[in-house]
Amino acid sequence: MLGEEILDLGDARAGPVLEPGLGEVVLDAMEAAFAHAGMIDLMSDVRHGPIGSTSVPRGPTGQNRAVPRSSATQHELNRVELLAGLPGEVLGRLAKRMEREEVAPGTVIVREGDPGDRFYVVFAGMLAVSQAGFGGRDVLRPGDYFGEVALAMDVPRTATVSAITPAVVASCDRETFDEFLRPLFADD
């Protein structure tokens, strides 16, 4: 039968499916999204099982909830095409200054017309982008970014961005944007 010999996870209660430490290789953003959906428990020291530890159910709360790591990682930022060309040392410094947050579905992250004070990158999930007076919506996915227009042009937010699914984003303030990212948006 198809799949019987491809992967035998055995009894997940007998121990971790992955070797200890290998979890760091797993995409951090996916781990946070699964935790947000209640599929794994990141607050526990035990992070294994059929889909991870499910001893403490966790689900969307309707409010943003910080993930255990409060800053982005260099690895995560390197997966954002805009940032991938930055030297590793610069990415490392930028990562330390970017704040990660988990966003529940339906949460508005930025609202059109509000002052723009942060730049965002998407690590996990899907976000809807809408503009008043324009039908339709765009969708942002992992690797996308938003908030640069308000910061680069010093104008109010030009669109509303809200979470469609559980999502993980990282953001930085205007000072960090000016220091690290503004040159990426300069006219050639």
Per residue in 118-157, pLDDT (tens digit) is: 999 999 999 999 998 887 789 999 999 999 999 999 999 9
Domain span including residue 131? 64-185
- pLDDT confidence of residue 71: 84
% helix, strand, coil for the chain, step of 5: 25, 20, 50
Q: Which tops the pLDDT comparison, 71 or 121?
A: 121
Q: Report whether pLDDT(164) > 90.
A: yes
Residue 121 lies in a domain: yes
Cα four-point dihedral sign 108, 114, 120, 126: positive
Q: Say what the pTM is.
A: 0.64
| Distance between CA atoms of residues 59 and 108, nearest Å | 18
Q: Report whether pLDDT(34) > 90.
A: no
| Distance between CA atoms of residues 110 and 160, nearest Å | 5
Residue 141 lies in a domain: yes
Residue 43 lies in a domain: no
Classify the phi-psi angles of 147: left when phi > 0, otherwise alpha if psi is within -120 to 50, otherwise beta.
left
Burial of 6-39, coded b for 16+ CB within 10 Å and e otherwise, reads: eeeeeeeeeeeeeeeeeeeeeebbebbbbbbbeb
DSSP annotation of 65 reads B
| Distance between CA atoms of residues 108 and 57, nearest Å | 24
If pLDDT is split at 50, 70 and 90, which confidence band does 2 have?
A: very low
Residue 33 lies in a domain: no
The CATH number given to whatever domain includes residue 130 is: 2.60.120.10
Q: Report whether pLDDT(178) > 50.
A: yes
Percent of the chain scoring above 70 in pLDDT: 62
Q: Domain tally for the chain?
A: 1
- pLDDT confidence of residue 134: 82
Q: Report whether pLDDT(40) > 90.
A: no
Q: Report whether pLDDT(21) > 80.
A: no
Question: Which residues does 112 contact at the CB level (< 8 Å), separation at least 6?
Answer: 130, 131, 132, 156, 157, 158, 159, 160
Give the Cβ contact number of residue 116 at 10 Å. Answer: 20
Residue 116 lies in a domain: yes
At residue 137, what are phi and psi to the nearest 5 degrees? -140, 145
